[in-house]
C-alpha cells in the first residue's frame, strides 16, 4: 500500500432504510360516492348527445336526399334521367319556398320528403298561427317555384332545345295545379285567408277533373281534400280550437292575398302557353 492511500477517509457502510409504511387514506365521502356516477353519466350524455344530435341532423338530410333519388329514379322511368333530375330540382325549389316562409313565420320545419308521383312535402307542426300566415306559407312555394321555372327561359332561348321548354312547361303546370283552391294544396292555404267557402268549389273542381281525366293522384287528393275540408269548415263554424280568431283577416290583407293568387294564375297560364311544345305533327 502506498503512502497516499493511507490518508483516504474510510467509506462508511451503507445503512439499510426501513420500508416506507403506506399512509392511511380517507374513505370517499357519501356525497362523492353518490355524485361520482352522476358526473360520469353526465359526461357520457354530453359526449354522445352531440353525436345523437349530429346523427338526427344528418338523418334528416339523408332522408331528403334518399327520397329525392327515389323520386328521380321513378320519374326517369317515364321521362328519362335528365328530365327527372330537372323536374325534381324544380320540386325542391318549390318546397324551399314553403320552408323559407315557415322560418320567417317563426315555425321550425321538421324536414323535407319527396314522394314519387305525388310531389314533396315539408313537415311542420303549424303554419304560422293565423290564416294570413298560412296563406303566405302556401303561396311562397308557387312563387319561388315559378321564379325557378322562368330562370330557365334564357337557357331555352339560347339553346333552342325543346327539352328546356318542356321542363319549364311541366314546372309551371306543377305550380298551377297546386293553386287549385282545395286543401291541402297551396291554393287551399291561400283560401284560408281569402274565402274559406272556396274550399268546396275547389273540391268540386277536383271531382269534375277526375271524371274528365281519371288519375290515381286525383283520387288521393279527393280523399284527403274531402276530409280536411269538412274538418276545417266544421271547426271554423263551431269556433273550436281558436278558429274564430285564426280566420280573422283584415280586408286589405284578403285583397293582397287575392291579388297575388290571381296574378300567379295569370302569369303561370301565359308562361305555359309560351313554352308549350306541340308534338301533334310527330304522332
Query: In this structure, is residue 111 part of a structural domain?
Result: yes
Query: In this structure, is residue 148 part of a structural domain?
Result: yes
* Structural domain total, the chain: 1
pLDDT digit string, tens, across residues 75-93? 999 899 999 999 999 999 9
pLDDT digit string, tens, across residues 132-189? 999 999 999 999 999 999 999 999 999 989 999 999 999 999 999 999 999 889 999 9
Query: In this structure, is residue 204 part of a structural domain?
Result: yes
What average pLDDT does the chain have? 80
Query: In this structure, is residue 56 part of a structural domain?
Result: yes
- Considering the chain, what percentage of its residues have pLDDT values greater than 70? 75
* CA gap 167, 283 in Å, rounded: 20
Cis amide prior to 184 (ω within 30 degrees): yes
pTM: 0.74
Residue range of the domain that includes 255 = 42-282
Q: What average pLDDT does this structure show over 261-276? A: 94
Query: In this structure, is residue 18 part of a structural domain?
Result: no
* Residue 238 confidence class, pLDDT cut points 50, 70, 90: low
Bridge partners for 121 per DSSP: 113
Hey, what's the cell of 46?
Answer: 354530453
Amino acid at each position: 500500500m502506498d503512502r497516499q492511500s493511507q490518508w483516504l477517509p474510510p467509506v462508511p457502510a451503507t445503512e439499510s432504510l426501513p420500508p416506507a409504511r403506506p399512509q392511511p387514506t380517507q374513505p370517499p365521502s357519501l356525497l362523492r360516492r353518490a355524485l361520482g356516477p352522476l358526473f360520469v353519466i353526465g359526461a357520457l350524455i354530453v359526449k354522445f348527445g352531440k353525436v345523437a344530435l349530429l346523427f338526427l341532423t344528418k338523418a334528416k338530410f339523408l332522408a331528403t336526399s334518399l327520397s329525392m333519388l327515389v323520386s328521380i329514379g321513378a320519374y326517369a322511368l317515364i321521362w328519362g334521367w335528365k328530365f327527372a333530375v330537372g323536374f325534381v330540382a324544380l320540386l325542391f325549389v318549390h318546397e324551399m319556398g314553403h320552408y323559407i316562409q315557415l322560418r320567417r313565420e317563426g315555425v321550425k320545419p321538421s324536414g323535407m320528403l319527396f314522394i314519387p308521383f305525388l310531389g314533396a312535402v315539408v313537415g311542420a307542426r303549424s303554419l304560422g298561427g293565423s290564416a294570413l300566415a298560412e296563406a303566405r306559407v302556401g303561396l311562397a312555394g308557387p312563387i319561388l317555384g315559378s321564379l325557378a321555372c322562368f330562370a330557365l327561359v334564357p337557357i331555352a332561348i339560347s339553346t333552342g332545345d325543346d327539352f328546356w321548354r318542356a321542363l319549364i312547361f311541366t314546372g309551371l303546370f306543377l305550380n298551377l295545379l297546386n293553386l287549385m283552391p282545395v286543401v291541402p294544396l297551396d291554393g287551399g292555404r291561400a283560401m284560408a285567408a281569402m274565402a274559406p267557402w272556396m274550399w268546396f268549389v275547389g273540391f268540386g273542381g277536383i271531382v269534375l277533373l277526375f271524371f274528365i281525366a281519371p288519375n290515381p293522384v286525383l283520387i288521393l287528393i279527393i280523399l284527403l281534400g274531402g276530409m280536411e275540408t269538412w274538418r276545417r269548415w266544421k271547426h271554423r263554424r263551431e269556433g273550436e280550437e281558436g278558429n274564430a280568431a285564426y280566420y280573422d283577416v283584415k280586408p286589405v290583407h284578403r285583397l293582397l292575398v287575392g291579388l297575388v293568387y290571381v296574378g300567379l294564375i295569370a302569369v303561370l297560364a301565359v308562361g305555359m302557353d309560351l313554352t308549350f311544345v306541340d308534338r301533334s305533327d310527330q304522332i
